[in-house]
Amino acid sequence: MNAPLIYALTGAALFVFGVTGLMLQAHLLRKILAFNVMGSGIFLVLVGLAQRTGIPDPVPQAMVLTGIVVAIAATALALALARQLLDQSGEMRLPEEEAGKDKLDV
Amino acid sequence: MKALLNIAVLSLTGALGLVLAWSILDLPASAVRLPEQVTAQLDMSGVAHPVTAVLLNFRGYDTLLEIAVLLLALLGMLALPRQASGSKPRPVPASPMLQTLARLLTPLMVLVAGYVLWAGAHRPGGAFQAGAVLAGAGVLLHLAGLLPAWATPGRALRAGLATGLLVFIAVAATLMTQGTLLQYPPGWAGALILVIEASLTLSLGLILAGLYLVLADSKVQA
Amino acid sequence: MFDPIPWLILSPLIWATLAFVQGPGRGGRLAVAGVALQLALAATLAQQIIAGGARVYAVGGWGAPLGIDLAADGLSAVMLLLTQAVALPLAFYARAYFAAHAAPLRYFWPLTGYLLAAMNALFLSADVFNIYVTLELLGLAAVGLVAVAGGAGPVSAAMRYLLATLLGSGAYLLGVALLYGVYGSVSLAALAPLIAADAPTAVSLAAALMLLGLMLKTALFPFHFWLPPAHGNAPAPVSALLSALVIKASFYLILRLWFDLFAPIASVTAAQFLGALGAGAVIWGSLLALRQTHLKMLVAYSTVAQVGYLFLIFPLATGAAAEVAASAWQGGALQAVAHGLAKAAMFAAAGAMIAATGRDEIAGLAGVATRLPLTLFTFVLAGMTIMGLPPSGGFSAKWLLLGAALASGQWWWIVVMLAGGLLSAAYVFKVLRQAFLPAEEAAHFKPLPRTLEWPAFLLALASLLLGLWASEMLNLLGAA
Amino acid sequence: MIFDLLLAAALLWSAVQALTTPDLFRAVVLFIVFGLLMALAWARLDAPDIALAEAAIGAGLSGALLLDAVGHLRQKRRERSP
């Protein structure tokens, strides 16, 4: 076990935390936090695994830079949508009833 | 029902975590060694810093699409209909201290952005970091009440937002007369990358600041 | 020789960006010109592939694994043709739709341009990380288009869609990270032989993560929860684009990964499992479509059901004799194209009916048969493909799938397909029956411009004629 | 090595806290802390470019956006229940 592998394992755990939060948290702001934690976890796995021999690898590093920019783009769009929802419904969570439509006994 | 769902999700993701950890610890050495290839071709890439070489040359196409993703996110935010009520900008309490600080820091931040951009050719840095510094200056100016939030960007601002992507596409497409998409001719790579990065820095700064300023505009009045 | 590959990606990127600079509500003409050009490019590429076989294009001249490769073969050419062929009539339709509606369309055109750029780039990519970037571009553009209408319904649908698509691309990207960790490359061409030679556990996990993420994006049952609200709440031109094309993009990737990259580790059990989910989608989606009271929600649930058929490819083609596998594969690809054309037509027709009657309940359709005969005829033709009646493209597709099921002795998929066919007939007729009722006294029909009716009709006609052109399409599909 | 283990533990702790703390403002502040710790982790992984980007974008800009959203949320709540 070396340092990059420690970070790869940490990344795996962060991915799991993020996915769990994304699925279980109801508040949209928390879902957005969870998405970012999930993303950070993936980035750590990508670079940590690639550098497990201890040699820096610029290719996954460049990919993570791309990933960070994509993550901020998604975060900003998600926040804009969450705010619209807040302004319209007074809540920053998704309405339950829509999921409830998916039942046969309508 | 809810508790059952929680338990199901937790046990599923927990199992996923265990399998993930186990498979990470059980890896053979990789067959392809890209770091060596990057080092071998670094002289041909036009820059001396490997990460910049990957971002703007070897995998420059990824970066081209990524700029589109960023512009697209801002576009998605601008496309949302404005609320009829509450779109009035918040009266910003102008703190003279903060304003003076912002006036002093902004030129400095622009200088720093320029340095970070230039440095990216041979050490850590580049268009993204430089753009983030510019965006930081924009956010600071807004907080100090010196820069209004964006309700609807005008044509000049839209052109500025799109410049980075358009210059990138123009360079990539022009190069096709000589070779393939984004294939820099020998000797020209360094200069062309600098042109692309400079325009990207401008647009990235505007877009990243825009992500903040567009949201700041949709603030309701207290 | 002129190479259309890079231009298929650059064209929509350029016109989308220019449309953005032009400003809110602008860019319609630019879009029509751009998509028409892309259709010509896609046709050129298809001809080149039939004549000269599959092609690889090294972006930047480096070549994989250091650089990014684009690749075009029969399947990508078919998907590219489908995309532009659906987008062009829809562009005309959207111009008429937004002209007839007072609703602001703000940045509809640039969003559509980036959506098409993402689709074209995705179909041409031969690099798993590059595919991730195209997936994000596609997802954000689609979410932006759903939200463009505003209002509580569309915005919460867009939010749900955004979260689902981000979770999906997250799972996909973790799979990419594991693949790079194991083999040190993200190029499809470099990875395939390495996976065939030796695949440790991490690779199976990567495969599972990537496929799960893409299944979520394809809205395969039981991951379909986000689709009906998103496709049902978006403006009609957007619903048509999303239902016809966007979910096909992630499905295309599942095909690529399953049959090219992960073929050495693909198991019959996993294939049966995918087929079972597909069967669940066919039955559940059709039942729910039948229960809907709103026209666009019915069409959206029909998409959930039709996606199910696509996943029958996996049990029918995995571990089967070469001939059976080929027939299943062709049937699946044909189903993707037929459904794309028919569903675009159906959503466009539904949008026209809603625009004319001013109501989106099915109950409000009485009188449509006499007032909007062309649009109703469009709905019928598209319905024929959805039901799988001859001579439609949907019939040829389902016929090939049935043949594969018979030949491989997997009779249970036949039962599913027949039940799905009957249920889809029931929900199509539910709409038709209402449309043929006499109009209510108080009903007021808004006159529609022709451009709101003809594009949908042409799409429906194409879905029908696809049955007759099937051999040409399969010929292109088989070009390697 | 010990530093790396400690940093990993801090990362995990701040992530869990950011996702579970009842108070949203605290959660966002903890998320910014998490972002700064990530920047440190990138530096340890010989990735200074990512460290810079993470600090500026991951912690900085995301943090600003999220704090702004929390402010907006509180303001809305105050309006509803004066």
Per-residue pLDDT of B122-134, as tens digits, reads 888 889 999 999 9
Kindly tell me if the per-residue pLDDT of A100 is higher than 50.
no
Distance (Å, whole) CA C388 – CA A4? 55
Mutation site, D3, D44, D50, D72, interface A, largest A CB count within 10 A: D50
Q: Which residue has the tokens 């440095």?
A: B119
Tell me the mean pLDDT in the region B27-31: 83
Q: Give the length of chain B.
A: 222
**C-alpha C334: how far from its chain's center?**
12
Residues D39/D56, Cβ–Cβ less than 8 Å: no
**How many separate domains does chain B show?**
1
- Please count the other Cβ atoms lying within 10 Å of the Cβ belonging to residue C5: 24
Overall average pLDDT of the D63-77 stretch = 90
For residues B162 and B121, the answer to whether their CB atoms sit within 8 Å is: no
Measured between alpha carbons, how far is C174 from C188 in angstroms, rounded to an integer? 16
- Domain locations along chain A: 3-93
Candidates C265, C272, C278; CA nearest to C306 is C278
Contact criterion met (CB < 8 Å) for D19 and A33: yes
Prior bond of A58 cis (ω within 30°)? no
Query: ∠C336-C337-C341 over CA atoms, to 5°?
Result: 120
In this predicted structure, the answer to whether residue A101 has a pLDDT above a threshold of 60 is no
The residue type of C200 is: P
CA distance to partner chain B, nearest, from residue A70 (Å): 7
The residue among C17 and B148 whose pLDDT is bigger is C17
Picking from A28, A49, A104, the nearest residue to C177 by CB comes out as A49
The answer, yes or no, to whether C and B have at least 3 beta-carbon pairs within 8 Å is yes
Identify whether the C-beta of residue C214 lies closer than 8 Å to the C-beta of residue C302.
no
Burial class (CB in 10 A: 0-12, 13-18, 19+), A97: exposed
Residue listed under structure tokens 């108080």: C442
Neighbouring CB atoms inside 10 A of B154's CB total 10
B202 φ, ψ (degrees, to nearest 5): -60, -50
What are the angstrom distances between the C-alpha of C301 and each of C224, C245, C248?
9, 16, 16
Residue of B nearest to C56 (CA): B180
CB neighbour class for B98 (10 Å; exposed up to 12, middle 13-18, buried from 19): middle
Copy the structure tokens of residue B213.
Answer: 């300023």
Reported ipTM:
0.95
Report DSSP state, residue C214: H
Nearest chain D Cα distance for residue B32, angstroms: 20
Instruction: Please choose, from the candidates D22, D10, D3, D14, the residue with its C-alpha nearest in 3D space to the C-alpha of residue D63.
Output: D14
Q: Which of A53, A61, A102 to mutate to test the interface with C (most CBs of C within 10 A)?
A: A102
Q: 3-class DSSP state for residue C47?
A: helix
Domain assignment present for residue B20? The answer is no
| Cβ of residue B92 closer than 8 Å to a chain D Cβ | no
Do chains C and D meet with 3 or more Cβ pairs nearer than 8 Å? no
The CA distance from B106 to B110, in Å, is 6
Q: How far apart are CA C83 and CA C331, in angstroms?
A: 19
DSSP A29-91: HHHHHHHHHHHHHHHHHHHHHHTTTS---HHHHHHHHHHHHHHHHHHHHHHHHHHHHHHHHS-
pTM of the full predicted structure? Answer: 0.96
Q: Residue B150's pLDDT band (boundaries 50, 70, 90)?
A: confident
Across the interface, of A50, A85, A106, the residue whose CB is closest to C155 is: A85
Nearest to C361 by CA among C443, C426, C418: C443
Q: Three-class SS of residue C55?
A: strand
CB under 8 Å to B183, separation ≥6 — which residues?
A: B175, B176, C59, C60, C61
In a domain? residue B184: yes
Residue C461 has which token pair? 């006609």
Residues of D in contact with A40 (CB under 8 A): 15, 34, 38, 58
pLDDT digits (tens, 9 = 90+) for A67-76: 999 999 999 9
Nearest to B88 by CA among B211, B210, B216: B216
Please name the fold of domain A3-93: Helix Hairpins (1.10.287)
Rounded Cα distance between B202 and B157, Å, is 11
Residue ranges covered by each domain of chain D: 2-80
User: Does residue A27 sit at the D interface (CB-CB below 8 Å)?
Assistant: yes
Q: Is the pLDDT of residue B193 over 70?
A: yes
What is the DSSP code (8-state) at residue D46? T
Mean pLDDT for D11-38 is 96
Rounded Cα gap, residues A8 and C273, in angstroms: 31
CA D28 to chain centre: 6
**Beta-bridge mates of residue A27:** A93
Nearest residue, CB atoms, A46 vs list C180, C225, C293? C180
Tens of pLDDT along chain C (480 residues)? 789 999 999 999 999 999 999 988 889 999 999 999 999 999 999 999 999 999 999 999 999 899 999 999 999 999 999 999 999 999 999 999 988 876 667 899 999 999 999 999 999 999 999 999 999 999 999 999 999 888 888 999 999 999 999 999 999 999 999 999 999 999 999 999 999 999 999 999 999 999 999 999 999 999 999 999 999 999 999 999 999 999 999 999 999 999 999 999 999 999 999 999 999 999 999 999 999 999 999 999 999 999 999 999 999 999 888 899 999 999 999 999 999 999 999 999 999 999 999 888 999 999 899 999 999 999 999 999 999 999 999 999 999 999 999 999 999 999 999 999 999 999 999 999 999 999 887 778 888 888 999 999 999 999 999 999 899 899 999 876
Strands C55-59 and C68-72: antiparallel
pLDDT of A102 reads 56
Question: Hey, are the CB atoms on D79 and B139 less than 8 Å from each other?
Answer: no
Tokens representing residue C255 in the block = 């095909």
Q: Which residues of A touch B63 (CB under 8 A)?
A: 66
Q: Which of D24, D49, D62 lies at the smallest CB-CB distance from A72?
A: D62
Tell me the C-alpha distance between B118 and B197, whole Å: 9
Range of the domain at B210: 46-217
Q: Is the peptide bond before C65 cis (omega within 30 degrees of 0)?
A: yes
